[in-house]
């Protein structure tokens, strides 16, 4: 009796593993959704669930402003069933990539309905970083949900279910960011970064923003920009300045050295971090940035980490793997002990 039971359990477990492996690597025939940056890919993964495959053209840690299309990027665009773009001058290289790929996939502008901000630093230039305001994140989510439902209507019920849950998470996060930023004393609500990526964050949550570079990173800093930022730090007694994970930190470190301001931390602006980082999803990125900014500008780290109610959930996948290993081990023990008889 014991051996057939063990075999049945083993076959079930192996079938589950085989299914996962084949879906990931061997042949994946799910529809392919391609986004320009990892932040939007994460949104599409949450709403699309496991019935679609999502890839980002700019790899994790890459800078979409200065990205130069690769053969891999061309392949993604050619094989895409749906392409998601931010617009607002974010991914100027995409038009050419689409033109030469010959793709017929629909291209969705996921910032549709968002009122764009202009760059404070550079007149006449639109700020692409609209995702930094969680209320705008709701618009991104709605646009992605609609595009997925239109393109793959057979899965629209699943998309709607995922979208509703996601919307609720984003709304909750938006309220948390507002409350958390309010901890910073008003006179210290000045956020200084390398490039002008946080205007939407500042406008939504009440911070003044200054950056050395404009809304893109593809230009060199001018001496006048450095002088402007140094003057502000000295005059307003700004305690901390911030580097960004996708921008060379040399200049901001130099300014910190010259003024005595601290480096308040490293913020995620144009790319998520890898899965081991504290910013591996869009929601975690906003949470992490908020914690980092508020801690550095107000010095309330203990209060933040204890009370924010947004601690990362313990992963369910390690738990599942652990359980499966335990079942395997038990199975082998039983087989070894009883199989000899």
Nearest distance in Å: CB 168, Zn ion? 28
Nearest distance in Å: CB 263, Zn ion? 19
Q: How far is C-alpha 36 from the chain's CA centre?
A: 12
Helices 156-181, 134-151: crossing angle, 10 deg rounding? 170
CA-wise closest residue to 83 among 67, 62, 99:
99
Nearest distance in Å: CB 203, Zn ion? 16
Helix (H, G, I), strand (E, B) or coil at 299: coil
Measured CA to CA in angstroms, residue 248 lies from 5, 69, 205, 253 at distances of: 59, 20, 26, 10
Nearest distance in Å: CB 197, Zn ion? 4
147 or 197: whose CB is closer to Zn ion? 197
53 or 129: whose CB is closer to Zn ion? 129
Interface characters, 305-324, with Zn ion (x: CB under 5 A): --------------------
Nearest distance in Å: CB 116, Zn ion? 14
Q: What is the CA radius of gyration of the chain?
A: 24
The HSE-up count of residue 13 (CA atoms within 13 Å, CB side) is: 17
Nearest distance in Å: CB 129, Zn ion? 6
35 or 259: whose CB is closer to Zn ion? 35
In which region does residue 108 sit, left (phi positive, over 0), alpha (psi from -120 to 50) or beta (all else)?
A: beta
Of the candidates 94, 197, 212, 267, which one interacts with Zn ion according to CB under 5 A?
197
Round to the nearest angstrom and report the end-to-end CA distance of the chain.
13
8 A C-beta contact, residue 179 and residue 207: no
Nearest distance in Å: CB 98, Zn ion? 21
101 or 217: whose CB is closer to Zn ion? 217
CA-wise closest residue to 162 among 182, 148, 150:
148
Which part of the chain contacts Zn ion (CB under 5 A), choosing from 149-157, 192-200, 248-256, 325-333? 192-200
Q: Give the integer Cα–Cα distance in Å for 89 and 125.
A: 9
Which part of the chain contacts Zn ion (CB under 5 A), choosing from 143-151, 181-189, 264-272, 277-285? 264-272
Q: Give the integer Cα–Cα distance in Å for 103 and 97.
A: 9
38 or 149: whose CB is closer to Zn ion? 38
Size of the site for Zn ion (CB under 5 A): 2
82 or 211: whose CB is closer to Zn ion? 211
Structure-block tokens of residue 172: 């909750």
Nearest distance in Å: CB 82, Zn ion? 24
8 A C-beta contact, residue 5 and residue 238: no
197 or 229: whose CB is closer to Zn ion? 197
Does residue 210 touch Zn ion according to CB under 5 A? no
Of the candidates 229, 270, 271, 310, which one interacts with Zn ion according to CB under 5 A?
270
Q: Give the integer Cα–Cα distance in Å for 264 and 241.
A: 5
Nearest distance in Å: CB 196, Zn ion? 8
81 or 126: whose CB is closer to Zn ion? 126
Which part of the chain contacts Zn ion (CB under 5 A), choosing from 49-57, 168-176, 266-274, 309-317? 266-274
Interactions with Zn ion, residue window 57-116 (CB under 5 A): none
Exposed/middle/buried for residue 156 (C-beta within 10 Å: 0-12, 13-18, 19+): middle
33 or 213: whose CB is closer to Zn ion? 213
Q: Which residues contact Zn ion by CB under 5 A? A: 197, 270
């Amino acid at each position: 009796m014991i051996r057939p039971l063990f075999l049945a359990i083993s076959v079930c477990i192996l079938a589950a593993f085989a299914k996962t492996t084949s879906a990931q690597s061997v042949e994946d025939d799910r529809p392919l959704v391609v986004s320009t940056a990892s932040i939007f890919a994460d949104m599409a993964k949450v709403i699309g669930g496991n019935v679609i495959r999502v890839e980002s053209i700019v790899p994790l840690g890459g800078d979409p402003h200065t990205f130069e299309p690769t053969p891999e990027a061309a392949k993604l665009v050619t094989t895409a069933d749906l392409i998601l773009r931010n617009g607002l001058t974010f991914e100027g290289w995409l038009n050419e990539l689409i033109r030469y790929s010959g793709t017929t996939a629909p291209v969705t502008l996921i910032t549709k309905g968002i009122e764009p901000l202009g760059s404070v630093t550079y007149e006449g230039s639109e700020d692409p970083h609209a995702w930094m305001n969680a209320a705008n994140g709701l618009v991104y989510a709605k646009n992605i949900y609609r595009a997925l439902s239109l393109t793959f209507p057979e899965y629209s019920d699943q998309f709607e279910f995922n979208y509703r849950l996601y919307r609720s998470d984003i709304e909750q996060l938006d309220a948390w960011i507002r409350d958390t930023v309010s901890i910073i004393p008003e006179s210290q609500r000045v956020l200084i970064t390398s490039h002008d990526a946080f205007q939407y964050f500042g406008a939504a949550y009440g911070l003044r923003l200054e950056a050395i570079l404009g809304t893109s990173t593809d230009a060199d800093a001018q001496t006048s920009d450095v002088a402007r930022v140094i003057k502000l730090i000295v005059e307003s007694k700004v305690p901390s300045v911030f580097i960004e994970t996708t921008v060379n930190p040399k200049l901001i470190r130099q300014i910190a050295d010259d003024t005595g301001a601290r480096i308040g931390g490293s913020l995620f602006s144009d790319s998520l971090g890898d899965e081991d980082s504290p910013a591996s999803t869009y929601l975690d990125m906003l949470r992490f940035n908020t914690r980092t900014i508020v801690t550095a500008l107000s010095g309330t780290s203990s209060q933040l980490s204890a009370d924010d109610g947004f601690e990362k959930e313990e992963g369910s996948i390690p738990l599942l793997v652990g359980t499966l290993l335990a079942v395997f081990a038990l199975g082998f023990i039983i087989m070894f002990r009883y199989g000899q008889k």
